[in-house]
Amino acid sequence: MSNKYDAIKQNLRGSIAPVITPFKANGDIDFEKQSELIEFQIENGTHAISVTGTSGEPSSLTTEERVQVMENAIKTINGRIPFAPGTGSTNHDETMYLTKKAEEMGVDAAMVIVPYYNKPNQEALYDHFKTVADSVEIPIIIYNIPGRTAQNMEVGTMARLVKDCPNIVGAKESNKDFEHVNRVLLNCGRDFLLYSGIELLCYPMLTIGGAGSISATANVEPKKVAEMHDAWEEGDLKRAQDLHFELMNLNDVLFKDTNPAPVKAALGMMGMIEPVLRRPMGLPSEALQKEIRETLVEYGKIEEKASV
């Protein structure tokens, strides 16, 4: 087997921040803010950047907007850290188009989601991913998120794809079934890049040989999310474990409504973006926004608001 993907297996590790897509008040993409958010990530030690994954509201973007978001991101990153955008869709042809566009841009890898809503069977999933992987030479990361897609890629299907497609190098597993993710590494190989997409499993995933995490919380608290991975790599297991528990309250509040609504509300409170989501998404309830604000105060992200 070719060793051409060995470098990415060494470099695409740690905290991969799934940066949100910021919108202006009128709903247009705010590319200047997107660049600022990426700079914020790099300054705080994030190890790699992703866009147009779940946190980036890809289903609310046109195909060409997704290309523009990727183009602006890769220009901003300018090779400083790896870049692995989401190029998957519920539409096969769109997935092919976006993945090829990503390759043309020079991305380090492309993250391809299990198609949502369609619920393809396992053989259809194999065919979809193999066709996409065979159409490009860049590394592919499978994004398995059954809570969003209503379909789980079974371990056997993933292992078959890894065997047949040398450029399928990893998977983001937003899968609460920890037995499943253990079997992914057992069957896909211990060098397979396994990323946690479940915030409370980011640390446990490292303990079984995971490569890192793609956590929406990194939008709000990039430094501590990255530090947890750094501490693990440095062998400071106590520090990594402490950070895992330290982040738990923030993780919890940011997922009390559908991602990225709480994250965008939080970033709005931090003065980093206009807290705008495209319909049909919307901001969290006033009660949850109050809880988010209190949590941000607790974490030192904003100052306590004086009562009026």
Contacts of residue 90, Cβ cutoff 8 Å, sequence gap at least 6: 59, 115, 116, 117, 118
Collapse the DSSP code of 169 into the 3-class scheme (helix H, G, I; strand E, B; otherwise coil) and give the result.
strand
Residue 282 CB neighbour total at 10 angstroms: 12
Distance CA 52, CA 54 (A): 7
The C-alpha atoms of residue 130 and residue 128 are separated, in whole angstroms, by 6
Helix 237-246 crosses helix 222-233 at what angle (to 10 degrees)? Answer: 160
Q: Helices then strands (H, E): number in the chain?
A: 14, 7
**Which residues, in sequence order, are bridge partners of residue 86?**
111
Instruction: Report, as residue numbers or ranges, the catalytic residues.
Output: 143, 172
**Could you tell me which residues are beta bridge partners of residue 196?**
173, 213
The phi and psi torsions of 113 (rounded to 5 degrees) equal -80, 150
214 annotated ligand binder: yes
Cβ neighbours of residue 108 under 8 Å, at least 6 residues apart? Answer: 8, 11, 12, 48, 82, 83, 84, 138, 139
Q: Rounded to an integer, what distance in angstroms lies between the CA atom of residue 129 and that of residue 120?
A: 11
The two beta strands, 14-18 and 212-213, are parallel
**Interior CA angle at 84 toward 188 and 40, to 5°?**
130
Q: Which residue has the tokens 């794809």?
A: 161
Could you tell me which residues are annotated as the binding site for pyruvate? 55, 214
